[in-house]
Amino acid sequence: MARTKKHLVLGFLALLWAILDTEGKEKKEKVTCRLMGKFDLNGYVEAKNHSVVIGGLFPIHSRTIPVNESVLEPVSAKCEGFNFRGFRWMKTMIHTIKEINERKDILPNHTLGYQIFDSCFTISKVMESSLVFLTGQEENKPNLRNSTGAYLAGIVGSGGSALSIAASKVLGLYYMPQMGYASTCSVLSDKYQFPSYFRTTASDTKQSQAMVKLIQHFGWVWVGTIAADDDYGKYGVKVFKEKLENANLCIAFSEIIPKVYSNEKMQKAVNAVKSSTAKVIVLFASDLDLSPFVMEMVYHNITDRTWIASEAWITSALIAKPEYFPYFGGSIGFAIPRHDIPGLKEFLYDVHPSKDPNDVLTIEFWQTAFNCTWPNSSVPYNIDHRVNMTGKEDRLSAMSDQMCTGEEKLEDLNNTYLDVSQLRITNNVRQAVYALVHALDHLTRCEEGEGPFLPAHSCAYIPTFEPWQLSFYLKTVKFTTHDGEKMELDENGDLKQGYYDLLNWQLDDNGEIAFVKVGEYKFRASKFELIFTKKSAIFWNTESSRLPHSVCTDVCPPGTRKGLRQGEPVCCFDCIPCADGYVSEKPGQRECTQCTEDYWSNAQKSKCVLKEVEFLALDEALGFTLVILSIFGALVVLAVMVVYVLYRHTPLVKANDRELSFLLQLSLIITVLSSMLFIGKPHNWSCLARQVTLALGFSLCLSCILGKTISLFFAYRISKSKTTLISMHPLCRKLIVLISVLVQTGISTAYLVLEPPRIYKNIESQNVKIILECDEGSIEFLCIMFGLDVFLAFLCFLTTFVARQLPDNYYEGKCITFGMLVFFIVWISFVPAYLSTKGKFKVAVEIFAILASSYGLLGCIFAPKCFIILLRPKRNTDETVGGRVPTIDKSIQLTSASVSSELNNTMVSTVLDD
């Protein structure tokens, strides 16, 4: 039993030991187990014995090799397509750091190291590199320590906008400063999303504004856009469209270049360029993304297009090749300013594979540059897994048959790496490094108690500062570059001021493409200015070599307006002629402008011209004829008056009131000459005078006739009643005239005082003319004035009509009756004729009525008497005028001024003479 218990205890202890031993092993395995998946990264590291390290990300290769999709495990892709331009950028960073370490005025007690990775121009590699910067090791396990052992101050990179956005999404979580040198995407200015991103290049917001200014300057309104399928292209085109629409310009089409080659998407972009009427196209893409599209343009032989280039490819040697000039020659775009960097050329030439057998990037550079294979090297040569234009995959490989000797001379090369004539982004790399270094320098010069950090205004120190503390100094960094330019960042991490070079692609004397500077675009906080320095030297790649014409619809000429088409952009429209009275003086007006009341549109509807002012002028045939008739009538009346004056003592003139005859003649002169007040350009005085003069003239005329007709009426009554003499004193007849004229004068005076006529521009009757006429003022007063004349005329007619049955030796009553009939016929006909005419003919109708009625009265009343006085003087005797005429002499007729009748064989004569 005891033995059994002992065995049980020993067994239990053994089991417990086994359990504890197993847990210990598991615990030990948990501590020592490591993830073996490594990132395939290439680059350069120099971190030993340095205070701080600056990271760098550069596109030394242009793409990654497609991985085998059948492998389920994640694999870090390898890179291909050596990029000489990216290699130069990377070398510039190293050169700048070495230069700073040699200076004593910046970070005098500290030295800088570097850790640089190849981003391969792909987001996956950028993310791998960012994790390595943060974790401190090249494996898939975060440790938040830098692998070099030195403190990581910030990162320069990482090339394109899409790459910088991806890196900043990770680095920004820890406020790790990131200084961009080529990423221009506007979204990177958003400090909420990218709190620690800064850059030494201008934002695409400024570039888009510059492009719109350029398009406006050359009068292009119909523009196409093509963008890379990444953040740089999409955001760039987005901002450009907004600026373009604000300027009332239009997008003809907007297409995308696929990031990963797709024949369908590429053909869609090509067809848009080929079929569109837009001759000007904006290209937002990097040179690496643009290269397949350029080959498509060459393949489809698409020419006669003007390309507006973004800063990412305007100076790219990858695109600027002589064989592409027929298709992309004349490209115009904005580039980062060019600068010279002292000592860089010599540093770039100081490269050779023999210096470091493990430097795979330098070996690959050498192999690619000299088209050879380095001995004992496993670095592949010229591998290309891109898809060609037929949609098939090309695999150009692997090793060159020619071996490198090491004696090859860099001086014999003609590639982008050694070209220091267009140092633009390269200079931005230099300034990015200097910006970080100046921020570090400001950090080290902080004095305790006067620092920017709370509490107690403390300072940060190398190497224990936090990333966000260096970001604080970067927001206020300000320094002068080696060539004297000011470098200053704003609160969004963008340049406060700067400029773009406006470049134009031309062929030089050697047949190479030259980037000719033709202007600048300067920008400051609130000022933007496009300046041309060689506008006349711009080369346009068009059939006529002239400025391209890129519109959806040609600008509407003067005289027309834009009529927008439903559902189409505002740049596509119809040109609609302006309506009558409306004009468009400038080309492309959206609305026609109405002419003022004194103006009317010309035949082309392009200008408002003064309306023709219409009135019955003296110098036209009708007006001149009426003047002649008026003067002739006045002269005739004057002639009659002269006859009456000369024969004033004859019985015929003395009969029936000689004074009334003279007043009647005077009134006829007034009425005939009053018609001349209606001829010529109306004035206020003529408007005041003409109707009043006419009314007074007719009033005097008709009242004189009335005095005569009343005498005839009494004569008729005598002949009927056979009574004794009934006489009418001459004063009564003159009193009738005086009363009539005074009443008419009173009405006329009231008319002129209360509602006087005035000159009036009649623009309603005819649109193209201004009828200059008189507004007669009060119609009521006018009717009263002429109503009085009508009343006098009616009394004259009535009395003479009643006296028409006088004996056959008396016929003056018949003459006056015919005269009054003519008067009424003329003025009754005048009313409808006057109402149915317009303009000067309306005035002419009234003048015709005045002259006709005046001539009618003159002819009917005075013509028979003048005939007897001048041609039949034998009848102008007392016997004929005032006595009995023997019945045997039937040839002698009585005059119209006598009344003779035999009443009970007694001669009775009415008092019809003076």
Centre a 10 Å sphere on the Cβ of residue 321 and count the other Cβ atoms it contains.
13
Each residue's pLDDT tens digit, 615-649: 888 888 888 998 999 999 999 999 988 988 888 88
600-632 burial, b at 16+ Cβ within 10 Å, e below that, comes to bbeeebbebeebeebbbeeeeeebeebbebbee
pTM across the whole model: 0.66
Give the burial class of 141: count Cβ atoms within 10 A of its Cβ; 0-12 exposed, 13-18 middle, 19 or more buried.
exposed
- pLDDT at position 203 is 92
CA distances from 205 to 209, 240, 248, 283, 429 (A): 6, 8, 18, 15, 21
pLDDT digits (tens, 9 = 90+) for 46-88: 888 888 999 999 999 988 887 766 655 677 888 988 999 999 9
**Confidence at residue 740, expressed as pLDDT on a 0 to 100 scale:** 86
d(CA 253, CA 225): 6
- 21 with 92: CB under 8 angstroms? no
Which residues have CB under 8 Å from 637's CB, separation 6+?
665, 668, 669, 672, 858
Instruction: Give the mean model confidence (pLDDT) for residues 825-842.
Output: 82
Distances (CA, A) of 515 to 209, 335, 415: 22, 10, 16
CA distance 758 to 155: 88
CA gap 653, 660 in Å, rounded: 11
Q: Residue 239 contacts by C-beta under 8 Å, 6 or more apart in sequence?
A: 186, 204, 205, 208
**Residues in Cβ contact with 12 at an 8 Å cutoff, skipping those fewer than 6 apart:** none
- What does DSSP assign to residue 69? T
Which of 498, 562, 556, 485 minimizes the C-alpha distance to 524?
A: 498
* One-letter amino acid of 19: I
Tokens of 747: 């009405």
Higher pLDDT, 12 or 716: 716
Angle of the 161-171 helix axis to the 231-246 helix axis, nearest 10: 110
Distance CA 734, CA 790 (A): 19
Task: Cite the beta strand spans of 304-345 per DSSP E.
Answer: 306-309, 332-335
Mean of per-residue pLDDT scores for the chain: 82
> 513-523 and 528-532: which strand pairing?
antiparallel
Q: How far is CA 214 from CA 323, 325, 752, in A?
A: 27, 22, 68
pLDDT greater than 90 at residue 794: no
- The pLDDT score that the predictor gives to residue 11 is 43
Cα separation of 315 and 425, whole Å?
A: 10
Hey, CA dihedral for 868, 874, 878, 879, is it positive or negative? negative
pLDDT of residue 13: 38
Least confident residue range of 27-41, 211-225, 448-462, 782-796: 27-41
In sequence order, what are the residues at sequence separation of 6 or more whose Cβ sits closer than 8 angstroms to the Cβ of residue 331?
A: 306, 307, 308, 309, 314, 504, 505, 541
- Token pair of 798 as six digits: 């009535």
Q: Please, which pLDDT band fits residue 874 given cuts at 50, 70 and 90?
A: confident
Per residue in 568-586, pLDDT (tens digit) is 888 888 999 999 989 999 8
How many C-beta atoms lie closer than 10 Å to residue 554's C-beta?
A: 10
Per residue in 713-732, pLDDT (tens digit) is 666 555 555 544 455 566 77
CA atoms of 118 and 111, how far apart (whole Å): 23
DSSP 675: G
Q: Determine phi and psi for 646, rounding to 5 degrees.
A: -65, -35
Are 748 and 721 a contacting pair, CB within 8 Å? no
- Tokens representing 881 are 């005028």
Element (H, E) at 738: helix 730-754
Read out DSSP for 890-911?
TTPPPPTT---EEETTEEE--S
**pLDDT-based confidence at 592, cuts 50/70/90?**
very high
Confidence of residue 334 (pLDDT cuts 50, 70, 90): very high
Residue 874, C-beta contacts closer than 8 angstroms, at least 6 positions apart: 892
At CA 791, angle to CA 788 and CA 792, rounded to 5? 90
Instruction: Tell me the C-alpha distance between 680 and 694, whole Å.
Output: 17
Q: Which ranges constitute the DSSP H helices of 103-203?
A: 123-135, 161-171
Choice between 51 and 328, residue whose per-residue pLDDT is larger:
328
The three-state secondary structure class of 621 is: helix
d(CA 712, CA 715): 5
pLDDT surpasses 60 at 896: no
Position with higher pLDDT, 232 vs 819: 232
- Per-residue pLDDT at 309: 95
Query: What local confidence, expressed as pLDDT, does residue 424 receive?
Result: 92
End-to-end alpha carbon distance in the chain: 193
Q: Are 132 and 39 in contact (CB under 8 A)?
A: yes
**Which tokens go with 724?**
């004794």
Position of tokens 């027929």? Answer: 326
**CB-facing half-sphere around the CA of 671: CA atoms within 13 A:** 29
Higher pLDDT, 747 or 659: 747
